[in-house]
């Protein structure tokens, strides 16, 4: 049951994130002219990466094994490193506005992390 919750959460985050990016015509966040702070972006700074996190977790929970646990942790490590680099770019681009946004929102999971 937890695997399905995780997989459906992954789908929700991906659809919500892509729909907001499409509405702002910023398919590539690096080309975005404005910081998106509404919708799912009002709760999580990186919903598309969160979607991958929950996808990896859901896949692991579907078929737990040593191999799937290694893949899940490798995914989490890679996502965290990618987000770190992306946040540096966003901070340079949006300055104090991004810092305030960072303090209001969580990185991957609303209210938690």
Ranges of each domain in the chain: 2-104
Angle formed at CA 83 by CA 78 and CA 85, multiple of 5 degrees: 100
Token pair listed for 108: 């991957």
Token pair listed for 33: 């002219």
Interhelix angle 66-94/96-104, nearest 10 degrees: 140
pLDDT exceeds cutoff 60 at 13: yes
pLDDT exceeds cutoff 90 at 46: yes
Report the pLDDT averaged over residues 43-59: 94
Query: For residues 58 and 41, what is the distance between their CA atoms, to the nearest angstrom?
Result: 22
- Using pLDDT thresholds of 50, 70 and 90, give the confidence band for residue 32: low
């Amino acid at each position: 049951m937890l695997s399905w919750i995780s997989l459906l959460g992954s789908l929700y985050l991906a659809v919500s994130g892509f729909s907001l990016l499409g509405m702002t015509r910023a398919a590539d966040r690096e080309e975005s002219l404005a910081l998106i702070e509404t919708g799912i972006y009002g709760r999580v700074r990186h919903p598309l990466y969160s979607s991958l996190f929950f996808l990896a977790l859901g896949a692991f929970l579907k078929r737990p094994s040593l191999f799937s646990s290694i893949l899940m942790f490798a995914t989490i490590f890679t996502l965290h490193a990618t987000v770190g680099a992306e946040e540096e770019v966003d901070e340079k681009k949006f300055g104090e506005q991004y810092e305030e946004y960072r303090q209001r929102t969580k990185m991957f999971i609303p209210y938690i992390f």
